[in-house]
Structure 1
């Protein structure tokens, strides 16, 4: 999957941008600022003064942060990802602890009492509180998002069947069983699963415009939710009326209910999406 290095810093560093701060929900701005104030000094103490945390994974007590040894002098290419060490950040107390000190991971998410760690080769492992690890799955592309029960996670899977099927969306249980839920032409990615463990929302470019689709854990035929009837030619000159932006990543998503997903659309701007109706709107103000 192609991602700019700077895209990893969107939520973490948004508070440093005046324009982004102007668009952020005040509660989101407070959360980002608090995370930065607690994590930054802890990272410098544990990894040295050049180390920086560049990404947040998840929400609440089980939130994790990805750490780089130092910011590269030149921006990485679009097909490159920085390899990360992982720390855990308790959003309620501000406590920070090291989970994985090695700079070898792309992503991490808390799954029940364990931490799922995805390395640079697409190997997904579970690490317990005592540091023990077991291999869960291989060929995982990223976008890890656990169920509320911690009994499975959805992810983008790296496919090897040619350019028409670059990635798919699947669910992985804690026994390592992988089930493909969506595999359209091109890229299906950035999945999220509802709190009741049934509904799976993901992003696909199969119509040439990145749009939300919905399926379920049984693998029902995906249904397009947003940007219906649009194609890439309609984006020339700016987004058309009714365009719903895709999320920055699955790690900046949270469910308001079983039906409503809240996500970061970039630049610190959050949106809400009703996964039953496809109705979506920016969530720019008020308390949360």
Structure 2
């Protein structure tokens, strides 16, 4: 399955360079350092000395870590991303446990008391507290983001890979019902849903510049929030000052309120976005 526009990167912890860490604000640097202290020895004990954790999915008590069997000697293309084993990491206590030791997943997220596991074929499964799995949906591309209530999750859906509608944004409830919320020309991906469960923000390249759009859980017509009026040729030689960078993934998005989203823009930079007004700015101080 080709990976296309999507990315699983949230915090590339194992491969973070000192330069990238220097650009992290103090709050996020402390978070990364704390995660390493618990996860590095736990991964080595569970999977051997060559294994490394390379992604964190989610925040807080329900955080999950993606583990690779070993770091490839050569850089991989986006179509060759390694599959992951999954561990659970409690950010508040540092406790770590293995969720699944098979290296077959693209990503995972905690949804209520269950764990959503997306395998390399695009099949999304839910695993309950007793370790029992059930298939929830197929044709899922990634970017899993659960509702605050844990009754559904938004995700990027794989559409017709040969046509212009390559991916779409949808919501999947715990009965496996899938509803497409946005499927415009080009790629729609990287969704996140507000804490009140009403607003869905996603990234689209439908205007040739990756921009934030907003819709609702009812699938209202998508409205462009950022980079309105910009065209791709204006980014040649460096983006203009009004350019708002898109997120690197949906897995390090934190809602500071029902209206304000904080996200990882890559290179150690974090931004905040008001989904009502479209106002976006670098988050210099970091989350409190």
TM range (shorter): over 0.9
Deviations 1:146-204 (A, max 9, x none): 00000000000000263310000000000000000000112100000000000000000
| Aligned counterpart, 2:9 | 8
| Aligned counterpart, 1:89 | 89
TM-score (norm 1): 0.96
| Aligned counterpart, 2:125 | 125
Q: Is residue 189 of structure 2 the alignment partner of residue 184 of structure 1?
A: no
Report if the CA contact (8 A) 2:193-2:201 is conserved: yes
| Aligned counterpart, 2:152 | 152
Task: Quote the Cα distance in structure 1 between the aligned partners of 2:282 and 2:114.
Answer: 34
Task: Quote the Cα distance in structure 1 between the aligned partners of 2:269 and 2:73.
Answer: 28
TM-score (norm 2): 0.96
Task: Quote the Cα distance in structure 1 between the aligned partners of 2:184 and 2:62.
Answer: 32
Task: Quote the Cα distance in structure 2 between the aligned partners of 1:85 and 1:119.
Answer: 10
Report if the CA contact (8 A) 1:117-1:126 is conserved: yes
SS in 2 for 1:250: coil
Task: Quote the Cα distance in structure 1 between the aligned partners of 2:4 and 2:189.
Answer: 11
Task: Quote the Cα distance in structure 2 between the aligned partners of 1:109 and 1:153.
Answer: 9
Shift of 1:18: 3.4
Report if the CA contact (8 A) 1:20-1:269 is conserved: no
| Aligned counterpart, 2:110 | 110
Structure 1 segments of 4+ aligned residues over 4 angstroms from their partners: none
| Structure 2 residues without counterparts, runs of 5 or longer | none
CA pair 203-71 structure 1, distance change in 2 beyond 3 A? same
Shift of 1:79: 1.5
| Aligned counterpart, 2:245 | 245
| Aligned counterpart, 2:35 | 35
| Aligned counterpart, 1:24 | 24
SS in 2 for 1:278: coil
Task: Quote the Cα distance in structure 2 between the aligned partners of 1:157 and 1:124.
Answer: 11
SS in 2 for 1:8: coil
Deviations 1:3-27 (A, max 9, x none): 698x73744247x533323322211
Task: Quote the Cα distance in structure 2 between the aligned partners of 1:211 and 1:259.
Answer: 17
Shift of 1:80: 1.8
Aligned residues: 286
Instruction: Pick the structure with more helix per residue.
Output: 1
